[in-house]
Amino acid sequence: MTQHIRRIAIAAAAVVAAVTLAACGGGSAVQTVDPATFATQVQTPGVTVVDVRTPAEYASGHIQGAININWEGDFTSGIAKLDKTKTYAVYCHSGNRSGQATQAMADAGFTHIYNLDGGVINWTTAGYSLVTN
């Protein structure tokens, strides 16, 4: 009888794990990508590009079409205005703040997020440009 109870416990644990994975989508909402992949996402219709640097950094040069939601400012209220079901391409200077920001977005229920590995440092090193308008 002990073996029977053990099998039931293992089966129950498997069901709980499967339900948990299904509820969470089975994977991470955040994908950290290289500049070439990020550039493809930036050009994809419907993708919102988010610069999480300070307003001064944003003004000094940002990716074309990006909106500025300062990670060091009121980031939580800034992302609260966004549609959690849309796709976002997020970056900062080096990848540190965007890593934190994309995790915060995932924790808040956003489901499709691209994080630029290495930030604008890697972006410009790869030959992509920034704008100042």
| Residue ranges of domains in the chain | 28-125
- pLDDT number for residue 63: 98
Tokens of 80: 């609260």
Res 61: pLDDT: 98
CATH number of 28-125: 3.40.250.10
Q: What integer pLDDT is reported at residue 15 of this predicted model?
A: 38
pLDDT value at residue 16: 36
pLDDT at res. 133: 80
- Position 106 scores a pLDDT of 97
How much is the pLDDT for 21?
Answer: 36
Please give the structure tokens belonging to residue 57: 């950094």
Please tell me the pTM assigned to this model. 0.80
**pLDDT value of residue 5:** 53
- Strands (E) across 43-129 are located at 47-51, 67-68, 87-91, 112-116
Task: Please list the pLDDT of the chain residue by residue as tens digits (133 residues).
Answer: 566 555 544 544 433 333 333 334 446 899 999 999 999 999 999 999 999 999 999 999 999 999 999 999 999 999 999 999 999 999 999 999 999 999 999 999 999 999 999 999 999 999 999 999 8
Active site positions, annotated:
92
Q: How far apart are CA 7 and CA 131, in angstroms?
A: 61
